[in-house]
Every structure is written in structure tokens, then in C-alpha cells.
Amino acid sequence: MAESYYICLDIGGTKILGAIFNMKKEIVYRLKKKTKADGDSVQNVEDTIISVVSEMIEGFHIKESQIKAIAAGAPGVIDQEKGIVLESPNLPWKNYNIKKPIEKKFGAPFYIGNDVNVGVLGEYKYGVAKGCKNVVGLFVGTGMGGGLILDGKLYTGHLFKGAEYGHMILVPDGPRCNCGQRGCLEALSSKQGISDYIRQQAGRGRKTAMADACAGGVFKSKLLKKNLEARDPVTVEAVNRACYYLAIASGNLVNTFSPEIVVYGGGVIEACGDYFLDRIVADVDRFCMPSIRNTVRFEKAGLGDDSILYGALAMILDGSKKK
């Protein structure tokens, strides 16, 4: 009898990461493909997902019938139970049932959830938060995402809109966020926030090696790491500012939920995690109740870029248990 496999996806606004897992929960094949998110892009993104899955099946030399299930993490508000993307900031989906076309094409169950929720679930099941029952996750990328495990269960809130830590307001008259509010954590500590600050300082005539990278939008995380290590003054200042607000937000979350662990993931943490973690931990005591601070640890995501892929695997396995 032919072996069975799971296909797991990390769907972003610019790329899709794919992995094939065997029944031992090991990644045996990987693929990365750019996302076409423009024009009549609802169909484009759907086609890209289908093509990624198809290419993986072909590349790994297996048959569609060997795929036991497919799962994905994607940005936005997602009804995990029905497989409907209610809205997505970086993808052109609104009240979009992605579950139907994928299941119709491949004849396998399809699961989808918010990417950061799925990433935190991955860390809880297989990563640095394994064995903990209460987990706060903060994922720092172009934006800022949050995830929450309470009493061993993923908490998504009313209508799947919970754990939006990125829009916790820390400076009421602060910089404008993409959500329309001012002073959100995302506007202060994400790549977008760091980039905006560096661009503002360069506009004031300050010299920085990051000026060109930030002039056209958001920089690449590897470039941030390079200039942080080179001690570029404006870069260091921008990152220290981001870490300061992450420490405030982390303290508030610790006081609210009393988790066993706060996990930091995402592209920025993957590139510069040790620096971020050291700065956050150095400041966070100022914003936590000591009695709660004593029982929580702060860690980088243990699975790195694979957090969402493993979370997608957890969704499949949890979903199959419910049937």
C-alpha cells in the first residue's frame, strides 16, 4: 500500500511556502513560490495555491490519492470551521470560500486558519512552547500578528477576530497604522513601523545605510540584521524603539493572561531574534507585575520559518480527531 502524506502551506501576500510531511511528522519536500496578488487576483491566488500543491505532488513523485489532507495558514480573519477567508489585508479575499475549490481539485480535506494563530499553534504543539497550556505569541514581520493558547486551546475570539495584539494602542497620538488608528504596536514595532521611523530620520538629514532600502517601502529582514550588526546609529535607534514598545505590549499581555511563555516569531525575529529578545527582556520587568513576571519566560520561536507549516499540520491532526 502506498504511503500517505500531508501537504502544509504558509500563504503570504508575496509568497507561498509549501511542505510535504510524512506520517512521522517529518518534512520530506519543500517548495517556495511567489504569490500573484494583483489584477483579478482572487483567482490568481487560488491558482497559485493549486499550482504549488500540484508541483509538490509532481516534484516528490507521488499521486494525488496519497495526499491525506491539506492545510494552510494565511493572513486575515478566517473562519476556521467553514474554511472561509472573511477578510485579508494582503490578499484580495473577502467572504471567500477557499475550502471548496481546493477540496474539489485534490479530493482531500482542506483546513485553513489565520497565519499567526497557526504559527503559535505550531510552536505550542511542536516548538518552544510544547508542554505549556497558556501561550502568548507575537509575530513580527511586515505587520504584527498575535496568537493565543488558553488552557491548551487556540483562542480565536468572537467571529475569529481575537488576539489582534498588533493593534493594541500604546501611543494614542502616535504614528498612523494601516488599520486607521494611531500608535498601534504594529505602527511602532513591525517592519513597517521601523521602516517609517528610519525614513523619517533620513528625511531630517541623518545619515543611515538603510535610507535607500526604506525609501521605497519596507526593507528585507536580512538587511536589517546586517546594519544592526554594523551598528548603523539610526538602525540601532529604530530597533531599540521597536523593542521598547514590544516590551510594553508584552508586559500588558503577561499581566492580562499570565502565560507560561511569550513566543516571538516572524521574519524580523528569525533574522534578528537574539538582539530583539535581549532588549525586550531587559525592559519588560518595568511593565509586569513581579508576581506574574516570575512565572513566565520569553523565547524566540523554536521552529523559525516552519512555525506556520507545523501549525498547519496540527490543524490537520486536530481536525481528523474531531471526525
* 172 and 56 share one domain: no
Note the pLDDT of residue 131.
Answer: 96
The domain tally of the chain equals: 2
- What pLDDT digit, counting tens, does each position of 136-194 carry? 999 999 889 999 999 999 999 999 999 999 999 999 999 999 888 999 999 999 999 99
Confidence of residue 283 (pLDDT cuts 50, 70, 90): very high
Confidence of residue 59 (pLDDT cuts 50, 70, 90): very high
Residue 36 has pLDDT above 70, yes or no: no
- What pLDDT digit, counting tens, does each position of 86-143 carry? 887 666 778 888 899 999 999 999 999 999 999 999 999 999 999 999 999 999 998 8
* 142 and 110 share one domain: no
Q: How far apart are CA 251 and CA 77, in angstroms?
A: 25
Note the pLDDT of residue 8.
Answer: 98
Note the pLDDT of residue 93.
Answer: 73
Q: How far apart are CA 288 and CA 94, in angstroms?
A: 38
Within 10 angstroms of residue 131's Cβ, the number of other Cβ atoms is 8
Note the pLDDT of residue 54.
Answer: 95
* 172 and 280 share one domain: yes
- What pLDDT digit, counting tens, does each position of 311-322 carry? 999 999 987 666
Note the pLDDT of residue 39.
Answer: 46
For residue 177, being part of any structural domain is answered with yes
Note the pLDDT of residue 105.
Answer: 94
Residue 230 has pLDDT above 50, yes or no: yes
* 285 and 313 share one domain: no
Residue 41 has pLDDT above 60, yes or no: no
Confidence of residue 76 (pLDDT cuts 50, 70, 90): confident
For residue 26, being part of any structural domain is answered with yes
* 247 and 280 share one domain: yes
* 153 and 237 share one domain: yes
* 297 and 312 share one domain: no
Domain of residue 224 covers: 132-301
Note the pLDDT of residue 42.
Answer: 60
* 41 and 141 share one domain: no
- CATH classification of the domain holding 146: 3.30.420.40
pTM greater than 0.75: yes
Mean per-residue pLDDT, 33-39: 63
* 138 and 44 share one domain: no
* 112 and 177 share one domain: no
